[in-house]
Chains A and B, each alone.
Chain A
């Protein structure tokens, strides 16, 4: 059974960089799945941040939400079986629960999710 677990700082200062890691267990990150980050501001809805596309397609490239594209990087560390999110120049509007998720069918829906991690942007 695949499990995803987010980790990283729960507090980031304004203008700083938010860095999160999603550890994958019960399966290989090098398989032909797509891996995404989704966030949810407290009490609000879901926003897709971006995805890393498995190596069968486009040699392991990333897609990002245009609303965040200039600030986001998603990368994969195959040796550690994990993928990461970096979000630069954060503001209070980036305060949210951040989820990592797997798209097992390479079709844009998410069937495995981490439990989520709350990241607060505050000085």
Chain B
């Protein structure tokens, strides 16, 4: 199985500032045949299911605010949230969709 490791486990960021969450995979999730990284990011608020934010490492899902962005390739990835808003308080998960079993990071709790 591909092991996904996020850092930090939690972080506190001031309103209007930038939050950065890292995700590292135990093996590359880059498919050389299409040059795509099979890495997704989700946001989960208390009592709610996860919400897809980013797929292919950097493609933002329609309707997701553009302050959310994903970057990285191979084994190292970053979710950046610019101009942090109060509604961004949540737990964020990365997930590899390179192969089954699909696996998630342990989550990063973002607070204000």
A64 to B106, CA, bound (A): 20
Within the complex, the shortest CB–CB distance from A53 to chain B, in Å, comes to 10
Among A48, A67, A99, A114, contact of B104 (Cβ-Cβ < 8 Å)? A48
A99 to B93, CA, bound (A): 15
Contact (Cβ within 8 A) A113 B55: no
With A45-B93, A46-B93, A67-B101 already in contact, the answer to whether A111 and B106 are too (CB < 8 A) is: no
A113 to B104, CA, bound (A): 16
In B88-104, the 8 Å CB interface with A consists of 93, 95, 97-98, 100-104
Contact with A along B68-112 (1 / 0, CB 8 A): 000000000000000000000000010101101111111100000
Q: Does B61 contact A (CB under 8 A)?
A: yes
A57 to B93, CA, bound (A): 28
With A45-B106, A111-B61 already in contact, the answer to whether A99 and B49 are too (CB < 8 A) is: yes
Q: Does A63 contact B (CB under 8 A)?
A: yes
* Secondary structure dominating the interface of A: loop
What is the chain A residue whose CB lies nearest that of B4? A45
Q: Which residues of chain B come closer than 8 Å to A92, judged between CB atoms?
A: none
Q: Which residues of chain A come closer than 8 Å to B38, judged between CB atoms?
A: 107-108
Contact (Cβ within 8 A) B52 A45: no
A116 to B51, CA, bound (A): 13
Name which of B49, B52, B93, B100 has the most chain A CB atoms within 10 A of its CB.
B49
Q: Which residues of chain A come closer than 8 Å to B101, judged between CB atoms?
A: 48, 64-67
Report 19 cross-chain contacts, Cβ distance below 8 Å, ordered by A residue: A45-B104, A45-B106, A46-B104, A48-B102, A48-B104, A65-B101, A66-B1, A66-B101, A99-B49, A107-B38, A108-B40, A109-B40, A109-B95, A109-B97, A110-B50, A110-B52, A113-B49, A113-B50, A115-B48
Closest 8 pairs (CB-CB, A-B): A108-B97, A113-B49, A109-B40, A65-B101, A46-B104, A48-B102, A109-B55, A111-B52
Q: Give A residues with C-beta under 8 Å from B.
A: 36, 45-48, 51, 63-67, 99, 101, 105, 107-111, 113-116
Given contacts A36-B102, A51-B100, 12 further A-B contacts (CB under 8 A): A45-B93, A46-B104, A46-B107, A47-B104, A64-B101, A65-B101, A99-B49, A107-B55, A109-B95, A110-B40, A111-B52, A111-B61
